[in-house]
Amino acid sequence: MSFYKTIRILDDRYLLDMVESTTTWEIEALVNQKKIDEKGFLKLLSPAGSRSLEKMAQKSRKESLNHFGKAILLYSPIYISNYCVNRCIYCNFNHENNIDRKILDKEEIRKEGEAVRETGVQHILILTGESRTHTPVSYIEDALDVLVPIFSSVVLEVYPLKEDEYRRLIKAGADGVTIYQETYDETVYDKVHLAGPKKDYAFRLDAPERSLKAGARTISLGVLLGLADWRLDLFKLGLHAKYLSDRYPDAEIGLSLPRIKKIGTSETARVDYQSVSDRDFVQMMCALRLFLPFCTINISTRESSDFREKLIPIGINKMSGGVSTEVGGYATNKNGCNQFEISDHSSVEDVMAMIEKAGYQPIMKDWMTL
């Protein structure tokens, strides 16, 4: 049974009732357990969990040290195209937005890669909008042909593909796949994706499993915090990661928690953004670490440098640095259109110094890719 079929049987009202009825005593008992099941994970996301956040953070730190030590892997994204046929109300690449569209040719991709590699980063994501006309699988394959020889790890963050397409790109050197469901609330998902292939909730939801069937070594999941009820989204994100780890035990499962950045388009009025505080963020991160101690947790430059530094001892394993979210943002002609606004503009060197200041070691190359 696919994860889509698994998740559809959940009763959100029942889940929320369980969250509201959780007591502080239950949270303290959970923190002392060696292993936490799905029900316990949901309770950790409750208001009672927030009241016991210090104890959760202490246990989260311990679990992270046990599984990952004091190591933080650094990576950078490389945007190679912003052509997109989707109308996602939270994204600057929205098809209806009047922005400069650009697609990099192979030489421009090479220059972008070399500029990032000069910073010392050896792990990258390559990103596109969703337009099979402008960025077909063959184009992504050409990008891999250029970038794979330069980097230790190249991960795809592109539109969802069929299993045979993932297999083709993994054969071309892709190390893994990053794909966020944005929200697991199917009603909200339909509301914020107005048109385009991304409107197909089920096809996107089952894309991570297709990539793992095709041989991906890593898969990263995430939700765009603020689109829907964060407790329900985080619970279902955790279930998704557990589902995949149970079925593909050799794969590395990663999790990311990007908070939404509003954009200046009229379409943003179509959704009611949900508030996600810093305390909420720390709670969900700790809950994920206690439920899935073996999963990596990434913190992006959507968050400020100060906040990212504070999160390091609690359980972060991956961080981006020296980030640009525009096509050609490192070496070629910039088009001035970011996919979203970032909060931490620190260079790779500055991020490394921040990690070292926290008593941790910045890692430029994952041992698994040696």
Q: Report d(CA 106, CA 312) in Å as an integer.
A: 36
Q: What is the pLDDT of residue 261?
A: 65
Q: What is the pLDDT of residue 267?
A: 45
Q: What is the pLDDT of residue 370?
A: 45
Q: What is the pLDDT of residue 218?
A: 97
Q: What is the pLDDT of residue 154?
A: 97
- What does pTM read for this prediction? 0.94
Q: What is the pLDDT of residue 262?
A: 57
> DSSP secondary structure string, 21-51?
H--HHHHHHHHT-S---HHHHHHHTSHHHHH
Burial (0-12, 13-18, 19+ Cβ within 10 Å), 218: buried
Q: What is the pLDDT of residue 335?
A: 58
Residue numbers of the chain with a pLDDT score lower than 70: 261-271, 333-342, 367-370
CATH superfamily of 3-369: Aldolase class I (3.20.20.70)
Q: What is the pLDDT of residue 325?
A: 83
Q: What is the pLDDT of residue 260?
A: 85
**3-state SS track over 120-166:** CCCEEEEECCCCCCCCCHHHHHHHHHHHCCCCCEEEEECCCCCHHHH
